[in-house]
Structure formats: C-alpha cells, structure tokens
Amino acid sequence: MAIYFDPLKIEYKKPFGAVLYGTTIDFGIKIEHEQVHSVTLNVIEDQRYAPKQVVEFQPNKSNHWIGQFTANNAGLYFYYYEITLQDRTIYYGAKESGMSGSGQWYNNLDEVHSYQLTTVSKIEKVPDWYKNAIFYHIFVDRFNNGNPDGKVTAPKPNTFLYGQMSDAPMYIRGVDNEIARWDFYGGNFKGITQKLEYLQNLGVTALYLSPVFESRSNHRYDTADYLQIDSMLGSLADFDALLAACHQRGMHVILDGVFNHVGSNSRYFNLYGTYEDLGGAESENSPYFSWFDFSEFPTEYNSWWGVKDLPVVNKNDDAYQKFIYKTPQTSVIDYWTKRGVDGWRLDVADELPDNFIKGIRTALDRAGKDGETVLIGEVWEDASNKIAYGERHYYLNGDMLHAVMNYPFRSLMLKLLNGEISIMDFVLHVKTLQEHYPSWTFKHNFNNIGTHDTERALTMVGKSMDKFNLLVQMFMTLPGVPCIYYGDETGLTGGKDPENRAFYPWDDVNPEAMNIYQDAIAMRKKYSWLVDASFDMFPLGRGVGYMYYHENGQYVIFAVNPTDMTQTFTSGQADTSSMALWPERLVEMYLNDVVVKPYSMVAIDNS
C-alpha cells in the first residue's frame, strides 16, 4: 500500500499555506490500495474545545480522493486523515510534530502527528520602507562615542569604564555571581549620528537600537524610566537629532520595547529607594504596587527567569496598560512614536499576552503615520504555533505583529554550512515555515545571523571566511528583512554575552569581511524586486536551489553549494515536484551545468 499527500504541493492542498478565515480549501489524497471503503479528513480547531470536524472525501479518479474544508475562524487548525480499509482503519499524518511535507500512515491514532493549518483574520499591509529595508542593529554603548574629547557622558556611580576601546568585554561579578559593577565603553547617540554616512554607504537604510531608556545596566533591558533617555547615551535633544538626521537621509529607526519586566532599581519598583516616587517594593500604597506580583512583600516577587534585578510586570494590570499604550498622547508608545520613532521590536514577545501586543499595535497605528510603522516580536521558534507558559499565541493572525525575529532561519543556515543538517531536511524546514506563516510574515520576517543574545556569526562558522561569505549571501537573499548586527561586517568574533558585545573596532576592520558584506548587499539591491516576488526552494543534489519569480516575468535562481568541493548543478538534480508549473520549467530550462565553487552561490536571472 502506498499513500501520497503533501500539503506543500497544490495537487494535494490548495491554496498553499496560511489562508484568510472563511477560505475554502481543496484537499486531495492518493491511496494505492484496492479496498478503500472511506476517507475522512479529521480537523481539530485549536483551543476552542470544539468537537472534531469530519470531512467525508469522495473518490475522484483512480486511487484519488478529494474533499473541501472551510476554516470559519482565525487561529490554528490541526488535521489528519482517517482511512477505512476492508479489514482495519489506519491514519495518515505528518512524519514529525510541527513539520509539513509528505507524511506517513499510522496504525494507532495516539501516534499520529497532525498537520497545521494557519488561518488569519485579515491581510496585513507591511510598510514599503520596512520590507525594502536593510537594518543595522546597534548595541548603543558599544558602537561609537561622538563626544569631541572622547569622554564618557554622565558616567554612572559604581561602574567600570574600559581603559581602551579594544579591551575585551567582561563582567565583574560578586560572590553570588551577580553583577557587582556594570561595565561601559561610552557609545552614545552623537556617535551614531556621526557614523550615519558610513552606514548609508554600506547600504543600511534603517536602525534597530538596543534599549535607550534610563537604566542601571549597559544593556538597558532593566528599564528604570520609560519616559527618560539614559543620560550616558546623551540628552533627549541628542536623540531627537539622531532621529532627524536619519529621516533626512531617508532612513528609519525602531526602538527595543522591554515591557515584560523592569529594573529593580526603577522608579516603578524602587527597591533601593533611588527615586523619590514611592515604588511598588516600598509600599502597598504605591501607585505601582498593582504592577507586580509579590509572594512575600517586599522580598519575594515574580522576576524574569528568577533574576531578581528584573521584576516582572503584570501585563493584565489596567494601570500598567494605560501607561504603556491605552492613554492617547501620553502613553509610552504614543510619546515616542509621535516623536518620530518608526516602529518597535518587542522584547520576549512570547511572554506578553496577545491582548497586550494588540493594544501596543493599536497605539502604534494611532500615533504613527498611517500604515508606516512596524511592530516586530522577539520569538526564537516557529511563531505561528508558539506556546509559552501554557498559552498559545496568535500574534500573527492580524492587528498584532507584522513580523518576528527569524531565529529559525539563522539556525538552519548555520546547520547547513556546518554539515549538521541534510539538504532535504533544510529545505523541508524552510518550506514548513513558509506554509505555517502568513505570506507577508514569511516574506518580511526580521532576519539575523547574530544578535546581542547569540554568538557572533563568524565564530559560529569556525572563523572560516568561505563559510562566512556564503552565510552572508544567503542572509541577504533569502526571504525576510536582513538586520546586520553591528560589527559583523568588520569580522568581529566572540561567543555569547559578553564576548559578542565588544566595542566596534573602528581601527581594526577586516577588509575581507567588509568586502563580503558589501558584495552581498549589492546583490540584494540588484534584486530589490524580490521583496514582492513569489519564492520557492528545492533540493539540488548536494546543494540547495531557491528562486524568486515576479508576475512581471522577472526571475532569479540561486544555486547554493554548502560543501567544500566544487559542484556542477543541472536541472536533473533539482527536485521541483512541489513547485508550480512555470517556475519548474524555468529551472529545467536555465539550470544547466552551473559550476559553483565551494561555499559559494551563483545567481541565474533574465535581467
């Protein structure tokens, strides 16, 4: 007996991928067996406790069965097949939990892995400036000091200042491994403003700034005051000047919104009595007391991953919601967005309730220019089906996040280059994400190959410049909006925090790394139309092929060689069985005897 079903192929499921709720979907399955009595598609709507929906399939032609299902609500549906034979009942589902592609049949229902169907409430419009952007992620303290004398602006008490900008970052810890002295290099807003010409010449069109609000630490994820710029970074006038300079150059700026927790040394918690305001840790009469969850006041409280410096805020507290987003004109989101900020990246988005994210999006749309602001979430996994703390998140279903940080792509690219994943599995994982995500999210996710939370990209490929070159080329040409982590283009290396947060080496740039970035950015700009094009990927022998095809007839095929040997690719090596007819023919016509050097890629186009 053989059973054929693959939701990545339109002959078995049409339309492809996520759909608008109310859409009717055509399903088909091929079963090579002489005694099939019945076939049903069993569909379970996620977390609505509704009864299983059963779709009776009808025989269409020899061995083929067809049926239709209409998704009446936005959210997630999970489905599998039940096949009744003469002597038994079997089931057909995915080979692995959370994966798409061809599946397998099971004898026991308890063993079945269901397929996922994503439905959305609306078609989101992503701002044009965002989908065409090349971002640059700046850890502000570590980028550039713009003061004429080079001195650190407004040093904090009881902190450590580095003697040289080339010093390796390190933490000074106490007896309990806590941070005893925070360390600073002195990067500031003036320093960023001075380097805008460099960034624009590199090809950068937008900045993503690490947190900039008043805090005790150098990373500033321990917010002390959401309405004050941290004095070490400069004044409010310096921040405004940076925004104005960016906008004058046609560049955009998004901020890091840390709304899940605050600092223990904040005006809101005020554990150390630093602020005149009565903090939540000081008195139950504090206006901020309801923001926090104390198990034993004032010493035991809910904190982020048990880090006592980061008390978690109750996101369902009405006073906190009013402060962050509910109050027009004066909320945190309103205040900074009206000041000219073009969007926000939400820290630990999977720890924020969906209604909280929706409230932020409402405020952002209210305060920003119509349809010109963007909201991005920090999610490390497939964000279409993320469960955190027992709650499913639907933040991609409409009126919440436009996109998420694309850590899955980073992981897949590194595994491919380091020989830790097969070609088939690499392609399947990418296409699973393509099927699970709304099309605008997949096309415009916030891509990275390194951040302040990860090892440096060059370190992750064993400092191989050949692998690094291919990594950056894929980074710039796969679907999504690329965000360069500051200093990666100089060849900076380093493990996890704090090694990945060194000061930008202005006097020690690796020219080979810089050339790699310049060439890859030039390639992306050459194919700027790909942000609006259709995308497909396919196994290509020992390599990977992916292509974009535009309705105006433009196309480009990228042939990727992730091995240490030269490869000659032909269309006969390409598994294009899941592709639509026209792009499949393009591959057959133009992918012939394409020679690709080790750890390289070649573009074939009709320009």
Q: What is the dihedral of CA 328, 329, 332, 334, to 10 degrees?
A: 90
Task: Answer yes or no: 378 catalytic.
Answer: yes
CA distance linking residue 583 with residue 578, whole number of Å = 10
DSSP assignment of 78-136 equals: EEEEEEEESS-EEEEEBSSTT--SS-EEES-GGGPBPEEEEEESS-----HHHHT--EE
Dihedrals φ, ψ of 430, to 5°?
-65, -45
Contact present, 408 and 338 (Cβ < 8 Å): no
Q: Which residue has the tokens 């945190």?
A: 332
Contact present, 333 and 364 (Cβ < 8 Å): yes
How far are the Cα atoms of 173, 267, 303, 356, 607 from residue 313, in angstroms, in the given order? 26, 13, 8, 12, 53
Q: Which residue has the tokens 């469960």?
A: 387
Q: Among 395, 467, 472, 479, which Cα is nearest to 433's?
A: 479
Q: Where are the beta strands (DSSP E) in 487-528?
A: none
How far are the Cα atoms of 403, 480, 546, 550, 556 from residue 530, in angstroms, in the given order? 18, 10, 12, 7, 9
Catalytic residue among 309, 347, 489, 536: 347
Q: Which residues contact 356 (CB under 8 A, 6 or more apart)?
A: 259, 315, 316, 321, 324, 325
Give 601's strand partners. 560
Catalytic residue among 230, 378, 435, 488: 378
Residue 277 neighbours by CB distance under 10 Å: 15
How far are the Cα atoms of 280, 308, 389 from residue 303, in angstroms, in the given order? 13, 6, 14
CA distance linking residue 473 with residue 476, whole number of Å = 5
Task: Let me know the angle formed at the C-alpha of 443 by 96 and 414, rounded to the nearest 5 degrees.
Answer: 55
402 HSE (CA, 13 A, CB side):
25
Alpha helices in 284-324 (DSSP H): 318-321
Tokens of 524: 């992306």
Alpha helices in 219-353 (DSSP H): 236-248, 318-321, 332-338
Give 446's strand partners. 405, 481
Task: Answer yes or no: 551 catalytic.
Answer: no
CA distance linking residue 409 with residue 407, whole number of Å = 5
Give 20's strand partners. 120
CA distance linking residue 296 with residue 492, whole number of Å = 45
Q: Which residue has the tokens 């004398």?
A: 149
- Sort residue 314 into left (φ over 0), alpha (ψ -120 to 50) or beta: beta
Catalytic residues: 347, 378
